[in-house]
Amino acid sequence: MILKNLFKRKPILYSLPFLISYPQFSNYAKTQQKHQNQEEQLKNLWDGDDEFQKEWYSKGNQYWQTCESNYDGVMGGYGHLNDLDIKFSRYFLQQLQEKFPQLSQNFNRALDCGAGIGRVTKELLMNVFQKVDLLEQCDKYIFEAKNQLKQYPNVEDFYQMGLQEFQFQKQYDCIWIQWVSNQIKDDDYVRFLQKCSNSLSQDGFIIVKENISEEGFILDSQDYSITRSDSMYKQLFSKANLDIILEKKQPEFPDELFDVKMYALKRISENKNSIQQ
């Protein structure tokens, strides 16, 4: 899975529950019944076109090959928002530790998924965890990440492949999935989350940080990504047998951008106490 079109502007038709900008799916959009729920719409989309299935990941990867290997490149021209992003992510981790002290007892190893050039690892994860691995599909980003992080001994392994292809080789205390969930199809995403869950340490957790639509989902024909609603993500988490133990909305981002939410996830039944804001 490639990195992410990190910051996206809201489309003009942002309030519509179903917006597809792919030309090849214009007829599909027109023929959808208004009462059809979001899950049915996406299932029909994923199952409906063989060519689309083949192109979804390859076209997305091709898009990111054209972007610069710097903060502006991986953040959709909003590199100046890096500090706000990292500041709130750090705060979110602190809140998680305060509410669930047992989680911080073993901050040994983290996996940065959709790691890109290593921005989140360098700015946050390697300062919190003893060891960090990176997972990123785009070869130019992996190259830059290795170059940026080579002097840091606690940054260990780099895996160049998509999330949907990744097979876990280690156990992690934290699996960080930021601005890359929008690049993966529903079924693949649920399978990946299940593999994440099975690869967590006893007190391990998953962090998801992602753009959120007001309702429904929005497909982007430029980078082959899907912006899902909060309720759609929660359905996918539930399918993966994951509980939300903390969720918060990223503050201070420009109004023209999608909302961004953070979720802390653990296996269902491990902790039934959910803290929301």
Is 171 one of the annotated binding-site residues?
Answer: no
Helix (H, G, I), strand (E, B) or coil at 196: helix
Other CB atoms within 10 A of residue 182 CB: 28
Is 163 one of the annotated binding-site residues?
Answer: yes
The rounded Cα 197 to chain-centroid distance in angstroms is 15
HSE of 234, CA atoms in CB hemisphere, 13 A: 10
Residue 165's alpha-carbon distances to 24, 135, 168, in angstroms, are: 26, 11, 10
Other CB atoms within 10 A of residue 50 CB: 8
* Dihedrals phi, psi of 158, to nearest 5 degrees: -120, 125
Is 167 one of the annotated binding-site residues?
Answer: no
Is 178 one of the annotated binding-site residues?
Answer: yes
Compute the distance between CA of residue 202 and CA of residue 90 in angstroms, rounded to an integer. 22
Is 90 one of the annotated binding-site residues?
Answer: no
Q: What is the DSSP letter of 258?
A: P
Other CB atoms within 10 A of residue 219 CB: 18
Binding residues for S-adenosyl-L-methionine, as ranges, are 114, 119, 163-164, 178
| Residue positions forming the annotated binding site | 114, 119, 163-164, 178
